[in-house]
Structure 1
Amino acid sequence: MLRKQKIKSATKEWVKAILIGLSLFIIIRTFLFAPVLVDGKSMESTLQDEDRLIVTRLGNLERFDIVVFHANDKDDYIKRVIGLPGDTIAYVNDQLFINGEQYNEEYIEEDIRSHKDQFGEDALYTGNFTLEDKLGFEEVPEDTIFVMGDNRPHSWDSRDIGVVPLDSVIGEARVLFWPFKNSTLLTNGHKDE
């Protein structure tokens, strides 16, 4: 009889531990982080098609973070934050200007050079535009962000779909974990090398 009680007690403890573990897993996956599969080439050469990432769901977004968001009812996109609420944005001859200040986009420098080598020095990697030209307003509206893919000639992004509501953002890409040989932390959208 004592042996049956010990087995019953041990079984209860195991069931309890498993339920707690599953609950923690569900809570963490739902509210803190999630795995994401890169689908497409719009973030090349920073991220490749079928790379696997860990996306965190907490924290404030910063300019140049890589984010995943609901683009529509079926699709999630992964892009880079270029403009935050209140920012003005312009591209002139492959130079980014935010609020009138020029920004160096290190993460696409090699892509720009390769593009110009292939198509000529006058070929623009990111076509000239202003936020007003593309979307009809001077500043990124409140509670939205302006995003672009790193593969500018082949990215469907805010230039096409408009600004992204902050409540559509799933999270920020933090870790590239597959393929394993390329695994790295992503800091402010840059591979941490």
Structure 2
Amino acid sequence: MQKEKSELMEWLKAIVIAVVFVIAIRTFIFTPTLVSGASMMPTYEDGDRVVVNIIGKQISGLERFDVIVFKATEEKDYIKRIIGLPGDHIAYKDDVLYINGNPYDEPYLNAYKEQLIDNGTLTQDFTLEELTNVSTIPDGYLFVLGDNRRFSNDSRNPAVGLISMDTVIGKANIRFYPFDHFGIVK
């Protein structure tokens, strides 16, 4: 009887340690997130499941063109791409991104631009001032856009606006579902 009780206690300890380990990993390192909506197409599709690297933002910081997940509201998280960092001036003209007056290539949008059938632009012209009434992004804030520029609720919408770095949960760069699209996404 004593041997069975000891074995049961060992199993119970192992299970408790495993549960604590899983909770710690999900809380402090990685967490899964469901992509809801089409705002990041074609990079991420509605229903994709991605791993959000929580600790990555502390280790390597947030960089231009990183795909991040952030708290948009108390109940809702958004997934978007960082376009502007603190101190940047952002503008779009004729489907070209300008940061501080310099044109930037966005290769992740090329396939989408090729699919346009109306000969229009993927991203409408704008300047940071027109959208936010500031000329440069303030310290502690980011300007984010969805890759599906025509159908994205992002920093161009006053309800979202510039996002505080404090609301960023982490970087999203690994898709684990659907399984046939498993891998690192840029």
Matches within 5 A, 1:73-112: 73-112=74-113
Which protein is bigger by CA-based radius of gyration?
A: 1
2:162 aligned residue: 163
Q: Could you tell me how far apart the structure 1 residues matched to 2:108 and 2:85 are?
A: 19
Look up the equivalent residue of 2:14 and give its one-letter code: A
Q: How far has the Cα of 1:174 moved from its partner?
A: 2.2
TM-score (norm 1): 0.90
CA distance in 2, matches of 1:183, 1:42: 20
Name 1:114's counterpart in structure 2.
Answer: 115
Q: Tell whether 2:35 aligns with 1:38.
A: yes
Partner residue in 2 for 1:58: 55
- In the TM superposition, 1:102-181 aligns within 5 A as 102-115=103-116, 118-120=117-119, 123-160=120-157, 161-181=160-180
Structure 1, unpaired ranges of 5+: none
- The answer to whether the aligner puts 1:185 opposite 2:145 as a matched pair is no
In 1, the alpha carbon distance for the partners of 2:51 and 2:37 equals 17
- Give the Å deviation of 1:16: 0.9
Q: Size of the alignment, in residue pairs?
A: 180
**Alpha-carbon displacement from aligned partner over 1:85-129 (angstroms, at most 9, x marks no partner):** 1111111111111122211000001211222xx112xx2210111
Identity %: 46
Q: Write out per-residue CA displacement over residues 141-192 of structure 1, whole angstroms, 9 at most, x where no aligned residue.
A: 1111110000001001001020111111111112111110011112xxx1xx
Scaled by the length of structure 2, the TM-score of the pair is: 0.93
- Give the ranges of 4+ consecutive aligned residues of structure 1 lying more than 4 Å apart after TM superposition: none
> What displacement does 1:6 show?
1.6
Amino acid at match of 2:182: S
Q: Could you tell me how far apart the structure 2 residues matched to 1:174 and 1:21 are?
A: 26
Q: Which amino acid in structure 2 is aligned with residue 146 of structure 1?
A: F
